[in-house]
């Protein structure tokens, strides 16, 4: 029955989501270490690649928001990544004032080498569940992420965001 979740189940789900967040963060740290980058630089690369894969390359401002950096710190991070040959800044073809961030092919290769074995394991886990359950889980995760992002945006507007 939709909408009826016990306090105990809610606590277990929140704990599982917390554990997932910690594991995701640890993977980011390990990816960064594997390619010789600080975790923030590696996280930025993953964000740039993800946006690029979705067909919506990030701007510097968008990246800064996604990784929680000030404009100056984001600029410094991008200078490091650009100098290392990991990214390039490209003027948007529709609006030349907009500069988007594109990851080098070599970075995509490094990321795939790192995450493809995990993707295979995740596919194995997901194959144990019927498509209907996975669709419900996808809906839940999307809604949870939206609620978290909305809360973070509200906290930022109130000036009460924890750093």
Work out the angle at residue 38's Cα, subtended by the Cα atoms of residues 35 and 44, and round it to the nearest 5 degrees: 85
Domain boundaries, given as residue ranges, for the chain: 8-128, 129-163
What is the C-alpha separation between 75 and 91, in angstroms, rounded?
A: 16
Q: Which CATH number is 8-128 given?
A: 1.10.10.10
Q: What is the CB neighbour count within 10 angstroms for residue 18? A: 10
DSSP 3-state percent helix, strand, coil across the chain (nearest 5): 70, 5, 25
pLDDT for the residue 163: 47
pTM reported for the whole predicted model: 0.74
pLDDT for the residue 137: 95
pLDDT for the residue 157: 80
| pLDDT, one tens digit for every residue, the chain (163 residues) | 466 889 999 999 999 999 999 998 898 889 888 888 988 999 999 899 989 989 999 999 999 988 989 999 999 999 999 999 999 999 877 877 888 999 998 988 888 899 999 999 999 999 999 999 999 999 999 999 999 989 988 887 887 545 4
What is the C-alpha separation between 41 and 37, in angstroms, rounded?
A: 6
């Amino acid at each position: 029955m939709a909408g009826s979740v016990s306090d105990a189940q809610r606590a277990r789900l929140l704990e599982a989501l917390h554990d997932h967040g910690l594991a995701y963060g640890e993977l980011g740290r390990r990816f960064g270490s594997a390619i010789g980058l600080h975790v923030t630089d590696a996280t930025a690369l993953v964000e740039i690649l993800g946006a690029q894969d979705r067909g919506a390359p990030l701007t510097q401002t968008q990246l800064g928001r996604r990784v929680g950096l000030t404009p100056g710190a984001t600029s410094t991070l991008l200078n490091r990544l650009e100098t290392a040959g990991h990214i390039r800044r490209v003027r948007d073809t529709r609006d030349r004032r907009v500069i988007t961030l594109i990851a080098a092919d070599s970075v995509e290769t490094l990321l795939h080498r790192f995450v493809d074995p995990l993707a295979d394991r995740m596919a194995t886990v997901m194959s144990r569940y019927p498509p209907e359950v996975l669709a419900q889980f996808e809906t839940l995760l999307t809604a949870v992420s939206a609620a978290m992002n909305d809360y973070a945006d509200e906290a930022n507007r109130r000036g009460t965001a924890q750093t």
